[in-house]
Amino acid sequence: MLYIGVDLGTSAVKLLLMDETGKIHNIVSKEYPLYFVHPGWSEQKPEDWYAQTLAGIEELISNCKKGDIAGISFGGQMHGLVALDAKDNVIRPAILWNDGRTGKETDYLNQVIGKEKLSEYTANIAFAGFTAPKILWMKEQEPENFVRIAKIMLPKDYLAYRLSGVHCTDYSDASGMLLLDVKNKCWSKEMMEICGVSEEQLPKLYESYEVVGTLQPDIAGKLGLSSDVKIIAGAGDNAAAAVGTGTVGDGMCNISLGTSGTIFISSKTFGVDKNNALHSFAHADGYYHLMGCMLSAASCNRWWMEQILKTTEYVKEQENIVKLGENKVFYLPYLMGERSPHNDPKARATFTGMTMDTTREEMTQAVLEGVTFGLRDSLEVARSLGIKIERTKICGGGAKSMLWKKIIANVMNLTVDVIESEEGPGYGGAILAAVGCGEFSSVEEAAGKLVKIIDTIEPEPKLVEKYEERYQKFRRIYPTMKELFHTLAENK
């Protein structure tokens, strides 16, 4: 049988066709616009996601036996607010995960409601990108739209709804809304009251591998598929990527270098770090995970390469970088503010330490290192909880760089396992579809059979020592700059 995984990203939707052995038969990518209406704002049109997904599926299955397609599932960008009216029409463009407009609402939740209460209700505190602050923003700034809301959805769930007709979400994605009682896996009555929404306005909750419905007949007819094709709930992009890299069960780690960057630690038991520096979310395998999330990761490198250097020759720009652990230039990777562990939407990116003899290569190296140092900040929080991590999987566009993988292994002092498929969320989505269709009895069984390690990068003791010194200097930059960032934001 064949399974479709849909990875709804920030710049494009990537669709993947996988069989029951884990073999990938086809991959299709379709781009759509991203709108920056005001500085710090980030929006997209859900209708664009759906149109490009449908076009992508049509192309994806054009050369396969359509009768073999059994299920479709998803990995998707998290936290985005999709508001539908009583007729299921989109009320306004979706406010995305990397949108920074909700500073006032985030402060209200953290300072007035209080971090302790939020953690008690949801296992997390408020971050500017989360959905609940967006709802509060819409309530205050667009009251005429707020009163029209009949359903609140997340990005990938809008696709699942359009394909199945069911208003659904899964526990992993819902965990990032600040509306879910993560520990007890139910909507938080307290948070609904705070946000002024009812349970009827929220989608039905499912495990990521559960079937929510089947393909709507009119869509099935258009695509040449059976209306018996199952639609499986899917997961937030990071949980789906973790499934796609085999980061399921207890004590496993995955680093994702996508538009955003994450460090993801799976656990069979629920847990919260006392400062809420890491997110405590449900996992797509039915259990839990801790996650640190940077808002800008591979997107930092893309910005540097394409916007500043005006090139797409990524490999060429990295081939002369050889002085690892010795770079005197530091890069603070906060192009869109930062989430973990600083929770500061006013933080900004900086280069520090340039001199007249600073080279192009050193600047490029600083970008790769800065993102890695930022991810290590979250790793250090996990280590402070007594969690012992010795190795990690890796995925995302940045994972294609051998140099970046080597930097990660040595900055973090972790063994880095490279898997056969670097398709992260899309592959995870396809695996969830296979589980939902009964191909495997559990997500753990599926990941154990389908995910294959093809390369391993070991840290080098001397390089680890050099990077330890560089990291200790890096971690002093943000605290030194924080007050200035906030002053500059006030004078905009």
What are the structure tokens assigned to 66, written together? Answer: 């359509």
Dump pLDDT digits (tens) for 438-470. 999 999 999 999 999 999 999 999 999 999 999
| Exposure letters 307-321 (e unless 16+ CB within 10 A, then b) | eeeeeeebeebbeeb
Distance CA 447, CA 239 (A): 13
Phi, psi of 148 (to 5 degrees): -85, -10
- Give the pairing of strands 24-31 and 415-419: unpaired
Closest Cα to residue 74, out of 268, 248, 192, 234?
Answer: 234
User: Residue 211: CA atoms inside 13 Å, Cβ hemisphere, count?
Assistant: 14
Question: Is a pLDDT exceeding 60 seen at residue 492?
Answer: no
- Boundaries of every domain in the chain: 2-239, 246-490
Residues marked active site are found at 237
Closest Cα to residue 339, out of 121, 130, 113, 122?
Answer: 130
177 marked among binding-site residues: no
Residues 6+ apart with CB under 8 A from 444: 248, 249, 285
Mean pLDDT, the chain, rounded, equals: 95
Dump pLDDT digits (tens) for 263-312. 999 988 898 888 888 999 999 999 999 999 899 999 999 999 999 999 99
Per-residue confidence band for 396, with pLDDT thresholds at 50, 70 and 90: confident
78 marked among binding-site residues: yes
The percent of residues in the chain predicted with pLDDT above 70, rounded, is 100
Closest Cα to residue 285, out of 320, 352, 335, 235?
Answer: 235
Distance CA 446, CA 429 (A): 12
Dump pLDDT digits (tens) for 132-149. 999 999 999 999 999 999
Residues 6+ apart with CB under 8 A from 310: none
| pLDDT for position 71 | 98
Taking the alpha carbons at both ends of the chain, their separation in whole angstroms is 56
Q: Which residue has the tokens 């199952």?
A: 230
| Overall CATH class of domain 2-239 | alpha beta
Distance CA 332, CA 340 (A): 14
Per-residue confidence band for 384, with pLDDT thresholds at 50, 70 and 90: confident
| pLDDT for position 373 | 98
Closest Cα to residue 129, out of 194, 171, 81, 195?
Answer: 81
Closest Cα to residue 173, out of 136, 131, 126?
Answer: 131
Per-residue confidence band for 424, with pLDDT thresholds at 50, 70 and 90: confident
What are the structure tokens assigned to 447, written together? Answer: 């990941």
Question: Is a pLDDT exceeding 90 seen at residue 176?
Answer: yes
Ranking 5-9, 125-129, 432-436, 454-458 by mean pLDDT, the lowest is 125-129
H/E element, 391:
strand 391-395
> Taking the domain 246-490, which CATH number applies?
3.30.420.40
Closest Cα to residue 208, out of 242, 254, 183, 162?
Answer: 242
The answer to whether 2-239 and 246-490 have equal CATH topology is: yes
What are the structure tokens assigned to 139, written together? Answer: 């309530």
**Residues 7/429, Cβ–Cβ less than 8 Å:** yes
Burial group, residue 215, by CB count within 10 angstroms (0-12, 13-18, 19+): buried
Question: Is a pLDDT exceeding 90 seen at residue 429?
Answer: yes
